[in-house]
Chains A and B, each alone.
Chain A
Amino acid sequence: MIQKVIIMVYNKRLDGRGFDELRSIEAKAGVIKKADGSGYFRMGKTVAYAAVYGPREMFPKFKQDPKKGVLRCNYNMMPFSGAGERVRPGPSRRSKEISFVTDKALSPVVDLNDFPNAVVDVYIELPQTDAGSRCCGINAAAIALADAGIPMRDIPAALAVGFIDGNVLVDLNYEEENLSHFIEGSEDVPDIPIAFIPSTDEITLLQMDGMINKENFMKALQKAKAVAVKISEAQRNALKEKYSKDVASNDNHEE
């Protein structure tokens, strides 16, 4: 009897998306009334809210910077947000790291030179997560910062890419991030979250989990860059939608 050998190839995505297709995305600005600026960003089943407070006085005082304002980011997954077990509330090693990289991803675009000794607080909360939460958080925070009227060079856009069986996967979901748990014998997909500054193509966040060779990595990077434009568009439209009703008739302007 001839033994049939089946080689699994990931040539169709588990949720039926195209390889360079994002999950459905949704962006909103001004979702939290009490905050000075706020943003909402959804990528598939990952949902992020961001609220910006400030610029305001920095406490504790010894952390003030007399040269320019400070950006302070805080990333938090809500206890019920994960797929299985309850996420233990409070800062964890993981959430501290993500707060740190979010800060590093956003600070190159914001210009806080006009606000010495002040702080801009960014709080990112995730009520529901399905992989890609740091990217979703950065996207929401970028909207919130612009909504708060903070001077910034551009609005960064972030997404995660992966690579398997000769294909670049854009915007991984939870199943794809842990593919070996879902498809027997499958390799794990490298997970590469990237944040871009759209106008200059500069990269402000680049992390990687897993393994990939140089050529494939460059391919993944190119693909991410091309798809980030769509995220950037969604962010801009959200802000314009909120503010276009504010277009002023100049007839009453005090001049």
Chain B
Amino acid sequence: MALIVKDKDVVVPGEILADDLGFIPGYGTHRMQNKLMASRLGLVNIEGKVIKIIPLAGKYLPKRNDIVIGRVIDILMGGWRVEINSPYSAMLSSKETPEFIEKNEDLTRYFDLDDYLVAKIVNVTSQNLVDLSVRDQGLRKIRGGRIIEVNTHKVPRIIGKKGSMVSMIKQATGCRIIVGQNGLIWVDGEPAKENIAVTAIEKIENESHMSGLTERMKEFLENATGVKLSMDDPKGDYNGLQ
């Protein structure tokens, strides 16, 4: 078996990954004769015989059960059209709100144009029509704070293992933070602390490739805020909102 690239190598489209039929093409790869080639820019991930590519660039594509932050761009008969930092805008139906909305009621009472909201993607069709919901706990309109944009492929780094990274920033700065899978992040807190949180997030985005990120972020946050951070692993699963 001839593997041409190593695990975690950066590959570009058209690059040969392996010239052997013994490997199985995963996401972001394609086979040409007996060669396995990359079909997008990203990092190679080899798991046994499966070779896949973790993309490093590209727009956010909506996925079911993702928590996203969006902006209301239009008000329709039975709901809202929401821009979610993706090629496709999403639909939030008036049936998907926690309170019952009567027919012919003025929808701007709930969400007005240019309001930001945290929502969950409940359905994505083959034509990429996206349905949102604000029915779950913690899903709501956003008031105050600020929204920053990061590369969607860096979102897992900002969240960290089971939310360890984001909870560390919360602990240090006392800010409320919601990380949308679509690369929009809401930060709200004391102005000075808010700045530190934003700097920290930008630092993670720029330095996610260097090892020892957690330790460096801990040091940075402790220096900036003077808060001693405990490093115990968060319990339970991270749901994006806690």
**Taking beta carbons and an 8 Å cutoff, which residues of A are in contact with B?**
36-37, 54-57, 66, 109, 111, 114-118, 146-155, 197-200, 235-236, 239-240, 243-255
B12 lies within 8 A of A239 (CB): yes
B14 lies within 8 A of A153 (CB): yes
Q: Which of A149, A151, A154, A240 has the most CB of B within 10 A?
A: A149
B87 lies within 8 A of A154 (CB): no
B87 lies within 8 A of A253 (CB): no
Counting CB contacts under 8 A, is B104 at the interface?
Answer: no
A55 lies within 8 A of B87 (CB): yes
A251 lies within 8 A of B58 (CB): no
Q: Which parts of B3-39 form the interface with A (CB within 8 Å)?
A: 8, 10, 12-16, 28, 30, 32, 35, 37, 39
A251 lies within 8 A of B14 (CB): no
**Complex interface: chain A residues within 8 A of B61 (CB):** 114
B8 lies within 8 A of A239 (CB): no
Cα–Cα distance between A242 and B159 once the two chains are bound (Å): 24
B13 lies within 8 A of A252 (CB): no
Interface residues in B, total, Cβ within 8 A: 47
**Taking beta carbons and an 8 Å cutoff, which residues of B are in contact with A?**
8, 10, 12-16, 28, 30, 32, 35, 37, 39-43, 54-59, 61, 87-89, 126-128, 156-157, 159-165, 208-214, 238
Known: A243-B10, A255-B156. 9 other contacts (CB 8 A): A57-B89, A109-B13, A111-B39, A148-B57, A150-B58, A247-B43, A247-B209, A254-B160, A254-B163
A253 lies within 8 A of B156 (CB): yes
**Complex interface: chain A residues within 8 A of B40 (CB):** 146, 149-152
B165 lies within 8 A of A246 (CB): no
Q: Given contacts A111-B39, A152-B39, are A244 and B10 in contact (CB under 8 A)?
A: yes
Contacting A246 at CB < 8 Å: which of B35, B37, B160, B209?
Answer: B209
